[in-house]
A and B are shown apart, each in its own frame.
Chain A
């Protein structure tokens, strides 16, 4: 992922957010500021992009035709993944640039001048220049010799919870509503030498080309899949050469909302993305969202060589433990309810853990169908692009007309829920009558909301109007409007028949996962 313009414009605010919410790294108690979530916001989405689109593996459930495949709902078969070294993967994950264009470092420093002092803490293992940068940014020296500040995966795939930075937790507060063009021009207004200007121009042109596909209508939801499709549209699939003009029809400019799933489930899942289209080798799917400036097969192959290790590192991630007290007796009753109500789709946990990797048909889960329908019926040109590119060499993308029931490891930490983040708490997920039609996080400014231990999720406010009733764009962007296309909170009503005590017990059990 690349450093995008909006990052620049938000540098000051990032710093403040960091001060407001000092957090500690899950991996090391050195305490990090979450601040970078604003700066890195665009780079991170690249990985998340993959979540949405889906490409499927060569399994019996798929039916390739004309070079592309669609999958049946039901079980997703396993596919062997290339082995990697998790330790090397971590080192690369926190230090190497998968996005190779960005803001010249000198410009970055100038933009920071006069802003709040950065108080972020380093992610363990960040070395050299990276040790001084917020965790959502990575230093990279371009072929021109210009040192760049680039985006990385952590802006989307790390977030604080209970004062600790959790690598792998989807960032549900990322603000992708900010216009990247403002940051581009803010950076461009800084004096630069010729080489720096050339690097800025390269980065600015790329981000400008995809900016509309990145911007969401709502803070917190992610546009990574749409961004990935836009990048595909601008590249020759054979050579990966960039074209300023799209070579195939780009995706719609309004991204469908997606909640970023946790990375600690990577090892359990046979397919990537909500519609389980990411079948076969997973590594190149993961890279694909970060190809802002990967302009040749050689460059892509070089990244692939070390991203195998990164994926291996992802498989070692564990969910954070619930940090508050749990009632063991209540949780035990909840376990029994879970076995009756949830395990068929979501699997079991503990010593006899079993995850079924099952795609549930739209007609059964009945959650907002837009993402699955678009991926199944309106994305063939992207499936074809993928299969004919370096990225599809080891995979067979195959979207299904449904959504995969995710593993529930650490589910308490991953609010809001459903693939589009439309349901703010698990309590509301288990009782559709509690789901707010219009809501926003209950927080001051960009602070993280309080965690609701009873309902499991971030504190929120129900509102009496949707986006059409909001006055300012800031208010509009903070408001989740389930009446919008793709933002619906319907379906998954499997908990509606539980009694309130049963629901309370089930919630208690979910805290233990």
Chain B
């Protein structure tokens, strides 16, 4: 089975953005700026299999797992400043190991790891997203990871565990968007297999993954030189292992929603890239107390009602989704804040902010979320 399919089907945690990023890291010809050709040697194989008996161990697992081939930290932030303006931010870090057995070299430029970072912001009034990107070897202190404290950095961007094990810190400097945030867990970390998305049990040790579906956020946001106090919420996905290698014939759409009633919703949809076959969705609802309610394809309906074509890439994405879970008498509409959120043009991915609204029974429900769409352009 393709590795990334294993990651999704067997483990169940969505790591879409990072997977596509790592593909880019492995396919430098697809990266327009900056070029990776000078950084990448021959990408090695032969990494040791992951431990079958792995159990999630935060906060240590928030840090890097450098013995593995690839690793992803995907953070979605919904922030509001003191003026009431809203800011939607994605902060993504990816690590790729070049060899399972690196040769010791004296050069300070010697490295076995590449890091890529991306920061995407969409603020009230914006009609499209603003993106910043970093790419570096883990050499000369430019990028890297430490175990104690658990920390990952890419030049002056960093993600780390605070002294309080329930807190994380994010720092982003040096660009038009800057962050200095403290994230506090509102719900415990969940290993991916607990979501029961598609798979009944962990079927493959190729990827380890977990998510923190709800964190409270406080700190500051720097926008064009102005420092704004902000509060809000965040969602973190973190995965590591054999991810990143395959160009599959399947595509994946992913939906992560924080509902105002304290529940979080995650849905995945697998489809063939050529448009044939039938889509396979699966969803899990993470309750305020951490309890998980999961649903198979036959328990739900997930369908797009509109498509949008990127004026830059010509690629068509399905937007405006409708989710129904009859067992819960729940219906949700998932609509993008703006259409133009094709945030990673090299990876051909629409990854953007959405607003959710609908009902459960007679009770209105709403929320905010992030949708990642990587399915081939066919009509809904």
Q: Is the CB of B297 within 8 A of A472?
A: no
Bound-complex Cα distance A247 to B46 (A): 52
Interface residues of B toward A: which range? Answer: 20 to 34
Partner of B294, one of A184, A208, A472: A472
**What are 26 A-B contacts defined by CB distance under 8 Å?**
A12-B203, A13-B201, A114-B204, A179-B280, A179-B298, A181-B278, A181-B297, A182-B9, A185-B5, A185-B250, A185-B270, A186-B1, A189-B5, A189-B250, A190-B1, A211-B278, A215-B298, A468-B327, A471-B291, A471-B292, A471-B294, A472-B196, A472-B292, A473-B196, A473-B294, A473-B299
B248 within 8 A of A: yes
Nearest neighbor of A113 in chain B, beta-carbon distance: B1
Q: Is the CB of B293 within 8 A of A189?
A: no
Contacts of A184 in B (CB 8 A): 277
Contacts of B296 in A (CB 8 A): 177, 179, 473
B200 within 8 A of A: yes
A236 within 8 A of B: no
Given A9-B9, A189-B5, A473-B294, 9 more contacts at CB 8 Å? A179-B298, A182-B198, A184-B277, A185-B272, A186-B9, A189-B2, A211-B278, A471-B292, A472-B196
Q: Is the CB of A473 within 8 A of B250?
A: no
Bound-complex Cα distance A185 to B298 (A): 17
Which residues of A169-188 are within 8 A (CB) of B? 177, 179, 181-182, 184-186, 188
A212 within 8 A of B: yes
Contacts of A204 in B (CB 8 A): 277
Q: Which 3 A-B pairs have the closest CB atoms?
A: A189-B2, A472-B294, A471-B293
Partner of B5, one of A179, A186, A211: A186
Contacts of A472 in B (CB 8 A): 196, 292-294
Nearest neighbor of B277 in chain A, beta-carbon distance: A208
Interface residues of A toward B: which range? Answer: 20 to 34
Contacts known (A468-B327, A473-B296); A181 close to B277, Cβ less than 8 A: yes
A182, chain B: closest CB distance, angstroms = 6
B308 within 8 A of A: no
A4, chain B: closest CB distance, angstroms = 14
A122, chain B: closest CB distance, angstroms = 26
A-contacting residues of B (Cβ < 8 Å)?
1-2, 5, 9, 196, 198, 200-201, 203-204, 248-250, 270, 272, 277-278, 280, 291-299, 327
Nearest neighbor of B194 in chain A, beta-carbon distance: A472
Q: Is the CB of A474 within 8 A of B196?
A: yes
Q: Is the CB of A189 within 8 A of B248?
A: yes
B192, chain A: closest CB distance, angstroms = 14
A111 within 8 A of B: yes
Nearest neighbor of A177 in chain B, beta-carbon distance: B296
B298, chain A: closest CB distance, angstroms = 6
Partner of A189, one of B198, B249, B278, B280: B249
Contacts of A190 in B (CB 8 A): 1
Bound-complex Cα distance A265 to B281 (A): 42
Partner of B249, one of A179, A188, A212, A468: A188
Which residues of A195-246 are within 8 A (CB) of B? 204, 208, 211-212, 215
Bound-complex Cα distance A208 to B297 (A): 13
Nearest neighbor of B4 in chain A, beta-carbon distance: A189
A42, chain B: closest CB distance, angstroms = 15
* Majority secondary structure of chain A interface residues (helix, strand, loop or mixed): helix
B181, chain A: closest CB distance, angstroms = 33
Bound-complex Cα distance A37 to B106 (A): 58
Bound-complex Cα distance A468 to B293 (A): 11
Bound-complex Cα distance A199 to B297 (A): 26
Bound-complex Cα distance A474 to B282 (A): 13
Bound-complex Cα distance A471 to B291 (A): 8
Partner of B278, one of A177, A208, A473: A208
Contacts of A471 in B (CB 8 A): 291-294
Bound-complex Cα distance A474 to B292 (A): 12
Contacts of B249 in A (CB 8 A): 188-189
Nearest neighbor of A184 in chain B, beta-carbon distance: B277
Which residues of A6-32 are within 8 A (CB) of B? 9, 12-13
Bound-complex Cα distance A189 to B280 (A): 15
Bound-complex Cα distance A114 to B10 (A): 14
Nearest neighbor of B294 in chain A, beta-carbon distance: A472
Contacts of B201 in A (CB 8 A): 13
Q: Is the CB of B293 within 8 A of A111?
A: no
Bound-complex Cα distance A179 to B297 (A): 8
Contacts known (A189-B2, A189-B5); A182 close to B280, Cβ less than 8 A: yes
Contacts of B291 in A (CB 8 A): 471
Contacts of A212 in B (CB 8 A): 298
Which residues of A80-125 are within 8 A (CB) of B? 111, 114
Q: Is the CB of A111 within 8 A of B196?
A: no
Q: Chain A, 472-511, contact with B by CB distance < 8 Å: what is the 0/1 string?
A: 1110000000000000000000000000000000000000
A87, chain B: closest CB distance, angstroms = 41
Q: Is the CB of B280 within 8 A of A185?
A: yes
Contacts of B298 in A (CB 8 A): 179, 212, 215
Contacts of B295 in A (CB 8 A): 473
Nearest neighbor of B246 in chain A, beta-carbon distance: A189
Bound-complex Cα distance A189 to B248 (A): 7
Contacts of A114 in B (CB 8 A): 204
Bound-complex Cα distance A188 to B9 (A): 14
Contacts of A215 in B (CB 8 A): 298
Nearest neighbor of A446 in chain B, beta-carbon distance: B200
Contacts of B280 in A (CB 8 A): 179, 181-182, 185
Q: Is the CB of B299 within 8 A of A189?
A: no
Bound-complex Cα distance A468 to B329 (A): 11
Which residues of A388-418 are within 8 A (CB) of B? none
